[in-house]
Amino acid sequence: MKRPSLDRAARRRPALRRTGPRVAGVVGLVAAAFTALLIVPSTSAAYRDTAQAETSAVQSPLTTQSTRMVPTNTYLANTATALQDDGTLWVWGFRGNGLAGNGTLTVPSTAPPSPVILPNTGYTGRNHRYIVRIAGTSLDDYYPTDINYTGLAALSDDGTVYTWGGSNANNVMGRPSSPIPYTQPGPVTIPGTVVDLRSSSGVFMALTSTGDLYTWGYPQARGITGQGTATASSPTPSLIMSGVHSIGAGMWNGWAVRGNFNPNDSTTGVFWWGWANSGSSFASDPSGDNLGVNRNAPFRSTILSAFAQSGCDTVGVVMGSAADTCTITSLTGHYYGNQLVFDGGHLVTWGDATNYGNGRPYVSGPVSAQPIALTLPNDDPVEAVAPSQDYVQVLGASGQVYIYGRYSFGRGPDPTLGTPSTTNQVTPAQILPLGSSVKAVGAFGYSGAALNADGSYVNWGGGTAGGNNNTYSSIINNWAANTTPTTAVQGLTTMIPPGA
């Protein structure tokens, strides 16, 4: 059954630090959640910046024995991406619309992964530009082939954003098609030095070192660009907010942390923009306030702001990185819910319980849409969160991976066997076959990936909108001679990258 579209017109853990003052004035269940969070001794800010891969001075890809393919998180369905240690991006799966980034409009899905190396024009650093962060978008994270809604974006080590793999019909490329065509990475004009890059399922977001936040892309008539109206969209990046500490992105929204929360100062706290999902349906209200009101420009969340307790006053910081001292370390979202990670590795979720979006047993819509603490088995602190289309992967500090969410459509991995399953995961369950040596996780569309300590790369899924298959070979078992079937969704599939 084809699912209807909603719209068709690892970095090391930072050193130990204590949390700030206890939150006060948060009502009801949220107050209980805060209490549960803050009585736990603080360990460390839990986040792995997988995009900030370790780098070397090697220009040619895959030349060292220490090669790691770090999985990335995008909203680009059926196109797999991974960052190599030397700053090369690798792309496989669906590579139409120029997504291979090599100047060719279409690369067959059966072809080996394609390397993307950014041009050196204007570069003053060592050897060559390194890609340090990747973002990608496709309509609602499950329409992979429409050129008007797809695109990849990369952030270089010298703070420049490049885009390719789509068109600018909906301003997704954020730049003209000349002199560099959309089949190749071309620079996007953003004043200053970009330090962070994110995407929702339609819009790209870039944060500069001076705290300026720019957006471009497809607003879906829901204000997802944050540019002031439901349909506002600019052909090049538009400044929507200044003084921003850090940013996060959900399925149909963005978040910006702007200073330690002060209830008497309306410019501080956590701001959001985009679609409120009619309150508690789909991803629910990303603000956590459950008002069900779309926001076409950054608007402060009452509940989420209370998590910005301390360390959030500087500007231009990568959320959860080693340089970040803010008590909010991660903000992400998927089709049925949202995830916030709080200092100490505490996970807070909210979403649509009827579709298993918050990792908790069923409760009524209004309760489900309120941010509440979610504890992993054995109280494992959260290291990273990688939301796919319908389910969420959580990497624990133990190196174990947990999963929860809706399997009935996308067919995620059975936690015990690793085979494709239709049994919805109501609460987080450890993916036992992955063991306890996972270093990074990523997700795209109905698919997920994990990097093991030995360099092996495990991937699973491959489902498409309306089809439970691996049609575009986005799940592979061999770098150069992939033999993974395309006729069915794949369970845990191990691929050994060259040099690993």
CB atoms near residue 367 (< 10 Å): 17
CB 284 within 8 Å of CB 369: yes
Structure-token match 């001679």, residue found = 481
Distance CA 260, CA 268 (A): 6
Please report which helix (H) or strand (E) contains residue 90, including its range. Answer: strand 89-93
Cβ contacts of residue 261 below 8 Å, gap of 6+?
268, 269, 270, 305, 306, 307, 308, 309, 312
So what's the pLDDT on residue 40? 32
Q: For residue 465, give both structure tokens.
A: 């909108």
pLDDT, tens digit, for every residue of 96-111?
Answer: 999 999 999 999 999 9
pLDDT, tens digit, for every residue of 206-215?
Answer: 999 999 999 9
Structural domains of the chain in order of their starting residue, each with its CATH number: 28-495 (2.130.10.30)
Instruction: State what percent of residues in the chain have pLDDT above 90.
Output: 80
pLDDT, tens digit, for every residue of 292-347?
Answer: 999 999 999 999 999 999 999 999 999 999 999 999 999 999 999 999 999 999 99
Q: For residue 126, give both structure tokens.
A: 């060592």
Distance CA 275, CA 283 (A): 9
Structure-token match 């879906």, residue found = 220
**Strand, coil or helix: what is 29?**
helix
CB 344 within 8 Å of CB 391: no
More confident position, 252 or 21:
252
Residue type at 202 in one-letter notation: G
Q: For residue 415, give both structure tokens.
A: 């936690």
For residue 34, which phi and psi values (nearest 5 degrees)?
-60, -40
DSSP bridge pairs for 338: 333, 350
DSSP3 helix / strand / coil % (the chain, rounded to 5): 5, 30, 60
Whether residue 137 has pLDDT greater than 90? yes
pLDDT, tens digit, for every residue of 398-428?
Answer: 999 999 999 998 899 999 999 999 999 999 9
Between CA 406 and CA 344, with CA 430 as vertex, the angle to 5 degrees is: 100
- List of E strands, 354-416: 372-374, 382-387, 391-396, 401-405
Distance CA 274, CA 288 (A): 13
CB atoms near residue 107 (< 10 Å): 20
CB atoms near residue 386 (< 10 Å): 27
More confident position, 24 or 442:
442
So what's the pLDDT on residue 279? 80
What is the average per-residue pLDDT within 148-173?
98
So what's the pLDDT on residue 466? 77
Distance CA 142, CA 397 (A): 30
So what's the pLDDT on residue 467? 85
**What is the residue-wise DSSP string for 263-289?**
TT-TTSEEEEEE--TTTTSTT--TTSS
Count Cα atoms within 13 angstroms, Cβ side, for 206: 31
Q: Is 121 exposed, middle or buried (0-12, 13-18, 19+ CB in 10 A)?
A: exposed
Which of 148-162, 201-215, 254-268, 485-499 is the least confident region?
Answer: 485-499
Q: Can you give the pTM of this predicted structure? A: 0.89
Distance CA 331, CA 466 (A): 29
Q: For residue 155, give both structure tokens.
A: 């952030």
- List of E strands, 259-316: 269-274, 295-300
DSSP bridge pairs for 198: 205
Between CA 411 and CA 418, with CA 413 as vertex, the angle to 5 degrees is: 145
Which of 11-25, 115-129, 168-182 is the least confident region?
Answer: 11-25
**Strand, coil or helix: what is 448?**
strand
Residue (of 463, 405, 441, 420) closest to 143 by Cα position: 463
Q: For residue 377, give both structure tokens.
A: 């088995």
Structure-token match 């620079």, residue found = 187
Residue (of 253, 344, 277, 343) closest to 307 by Cα position: 343
CB atoms near residue 462 (< 10 Å): 31
CB atoms near residue 42 (< 10 Å): 19
Whether residue 255 has pLDDT greater than 90? yes
Whether residue 32 has pLDDT greater than 60? no
Q: What is the sign of the dihedral through the CA atoms of 101, 104, 109 and 114? A: negative
Distance CA 484, CA 172 (A): 32
CB 357 within 8 Å of CB 389: no
Q: For residue 329, give both structure tokens.
A: 């370390």
